[in-house]
Structure 1
């Protein structure tokens, strides 16, 4: 896992003045090659090569959406969307293409990584194949296992509108609470995955879903803070409750709504970033005229998915001219929203967005990694006829392998490759106990976990550093509390550094 460092580390080596840094021309890097931003001195790496396979309207590989994580929980995997192809899985560190995922989400943006399990993602699907299917799906990107967690045909009775909403939001930050919408019949509701419980249904004037905040206790819906049963807790001071925005967490732990505001509310100000505390209703301009920055440029997107450092957010701005000539124009910002926190100007994304030939598809939709040490964005690279995806590798980014940073002068460190093997358990099926053997070619940190049919970790058999050699673990068929688990197919997951092996265990009672 890349070192997440401390919150202060995220700003190291970055520019945080308010002076003009007019964008200058820069040649588009080759696939997987890096260049240094001439104005802000950060590493920009191109991680896709769409023109190698297609051209024209389909020449688009981009982040899914600014409100949805692109990297998984441990940053070992990454999803990019390719027009005409679907959702492509990449290595999260080397950026190498792995495969196209066999998933069928309601829309390209409606794919949500699990907040802590690096192998799982969720998506809503709505299609007709004989009967209508309006299902909530959990998908394992390693095993390919697909589970229908719940069908919602009892709530969404007609049409194809079942989704995360027209402007989709992420789950709460433990992936237990989700917000859904029927965009055709204009209704929304919350769903508790752990309890398989649906909250009260609320009808609205738009097609957005009530989006859960990180705590899972509060939701944002059309300018209001609501609870699980869609009851209004408070109304936020917003002139326009539908601007590009993101739910996240403040440094004090409170849920927050981060938005761009082109017109002031009754008491709240104008800015490219205004923070609203969902817990107490307070608000504060972070980047705006009141804090010494210009009136907010157009085409502003906010992403608050830096799970390991609450209070930090990323803002990407296209701008009125999209030429990078003015402060904030065509810039990506990394911002500490705590009082007195730094506003770091990270890079020019060099995309003309809606002003260029690729239109909306060239909007940057910048998304940070969970550690906040990398930022993903799409770009037409100064008005080109295709959209590729790029990564800003910040000075705080310290990858496991220097091979990731090819083209940047960083000394290589050689570590012997780890060879590991996980044998099938025996006996299998078993009752009451079974034995699991594995081997390591060199010392490594080992974690062996038993996963139940719902994807929950029920038992940790080992979490320790092991020397090279062969090892044997025995599972007695019980969970962490010593209670016998139910019959079913369980997964034994062995993780050693970045390598993962799995086998299926059949429990009989």
Structure 2
């Protein structure tokens, strides 16, 4: 079901002399116009900050800090790759639950742990396994090895095994895009059963119990990954068909299929939350009609879509701000020429914005990313802290192929 009710987008209009060129932001013909004019905000030139230097976005006034130094030793045995040194992904927690630690997981020869507020290097762990922060227990991560699942204290480097099956092998956390339920109790494991079949199943860490297998080989196409919903009540599996169409299958925790989203990537590159009405939703970017290139919200139980933005250059959506619900953080790529030439599109490029998830269209414009995407690791992948007071992103500072560093912006909420 497609919800096409009137959406109002209340933009922050930043007037900076001739630097701001307003455009009338219209939907496609079938949609209503914005209540207010939005503004394309040209990104002024700015020197790249030095390592651990805090600067201010010249337009939005947001303070941000460069927190990694590709190609150099950050101290405490933390040597950054010269190509990139950054956080993991938009839908993965970069900070632990109390924000005392910030994790740099890509380009750090394992895991580099920084102070979550000052960004000073703390310690390094040579971990190659897939570990994610526990959403409520700040001291531990959940790690998935090929043969077991553990609770890990990074500070003490101590593991406690919570699941070691004898009839499953090649356990994976999703893989890659897996996450925990908001209470930290459940995750989805993908594995091979005793017959070698590819399966996925939810696992309850608190009860030390697994749910029934989902036989992924019976689904059309090739499995990309499976994840748990924010409430822990649903399993969402992403499949790619031979045609390249990316579809989604939604199951209950007990294995009953409740939804198949057959449209291509409608949505994808997103994240899951419990909505205002207590229902599980997935927020991401649609690549199929009737809302192609829009940011949309889709309910897991019945597939209903709520359109959140006009089309635009949003690439990733994150709701890791679990302690400040109601907002989704969006990474916008693109260029000034692209948005200026598309007056019906969202007026953002190389920018991070926070968008209300209730369909009101209210937006907070946070910071320019100064990023020219050229490959996966140069994608911004903005990911907020649990309370939404910080957001980390990656940038090559407008030079495709140049080293990619991580930056953190500080956000003040009313």
Establish whether TM, by shorter chain, passes 0.5: yes
2:204 equivalent to 1:192: yes
Matches within 5 A, 1:42-81: 42-53=62-73, 58-81=82-105
Is contact 2:298–2:305 with CA below 8 Å preserved after alignment? yes
1:215 aligns with 2:231: yes
* Equivalent in 387, 391, 394 of residue 411 of structure 2: 394
Work out the CA distance in 2 between the residues paired with 1:272 and 1:33. Answer: 35
1:63–1:321: structure 2 CA closer, same or farther, 3 Å change rule?
A: farther
Higher relative contact order (CA 8 A, sep 6+): 2
- The question of whether the paired residues in 1 share the 8 Å contact of 2:228 and 2:236 is answered with yes
Cα deviation code 1:143-168 (max 9, x no counterpart) = 22111221245122xxxx42123451
CA distance in 2, matches of 1:324, 1:86: 38
In structure 2, do the counterparts of structure 1 residues 242 and 286 end up closer, same or farther at CA, with 3 Å as the change threshold? closer
Q: Which runs of 5+ in 1 are unaligned?
A: 1-10, 127-133, 289-294, 398-509
Unaligned runs of 5+ in 2: 1-9, 15-35, 239-247, 342-346
Shift of residue 240 of structure 1?
2.5
Selected match of 2:376 from 352, 360, 364: 360
In structure 1, what is the equivalent of residue 145 of structure 2?
Answer: 125
Residue 164 of structure 1 aligns with which residue?
173
- Residue 71 of structure 2: SS of its match in structure 1? helix
**Distance verdict in 2 for CA 1:185–1:45, change over 3 Å:** farther
Within the candidate set 339, 364, 371, 1:351 is matched to 371
What is the distance in 2 between the residues matched to 1:138 and 1:322? 48
Match of 2:122 in 1: 98
* 1:142 is the counterpart of 2:155: yes
**Aligned ranges for residues 442-481 of structure 1 at < 5 Å?**
none
Taking the aligned partners of 2:232 and 2:177, their CA distance within structure 1 comes to 16
Deviates more, 1:54-63 or 1:74-83: 54-63
1:340 match: 360
Which of the pair has more CA radius of gyration? 1
Say if 1:271 and 1:287, in contact at 8 Å, map to a contact too: no
Q: Is 1:251 matched with 2:276?
A: yes
The answer on whether the counterparts of 1:247 and 1:256 sit within 8 Å (CA) in structure 2 is: yes
Aligned partners of 1:323 and 1:32: how far apart in 2?
A: 32
Deviation at 1:48, TM superposition (A): 1.4
CA distance in 2, matches of 1:232, 1:382: 44
C-alpha distance in 2 between matches for 1:372 and 1:346: 11
Per-residue CA deviations over 1:3-26 (Å, capped at 9, x if unaligned) read xxxxxxxx9989696211111211
Deviation sequence 1:195-241 (CA, Å, 0-9, x none): 22222222333333331111111222232321112211233474325
Question: What is the alpha-carbon distance in structure 2 between the residues aligned to residue 60 and residue 284 of structure 1?
Answer: 36
Deviation at 1:243, TM superposition (A): 2.8
Alpha-carbon offset, residue 364 of structure 1 = 1.0
Alpha-carbon distance, 1:188 to partner: 1.5
Please give the residue correspondences for 1:297-446 in structure 2 after superposition, counting only pairs within 5 Å. Answer: 297=313, 300-319=315-334, 327-354=347-374, 359-383=375-399, 385-396=402-413
* Among 54, 57, 65, the residue aligned to 1:34: 54
Root-mean-square deviation (Å): 2.9
What's the CA shift for 1:86?
1.4
Segment of structure 1 superposing worse, 251-260 or 183-192? 183-192
Per-residue deviation, 1:182: 3.3
CA–CA distance in structure 1, aligned partners of residues 113 and 80 of structure 2: 23
For 2:399 and 2:158, how far apart are their aligned partners in 1?
A: 41
Quote how far apart the aligned CAs of 1:278 are.
Answer: 2.2
Is the Cα contact below 8 Å between 2:188 and 2:203 reproduced in 1? yes
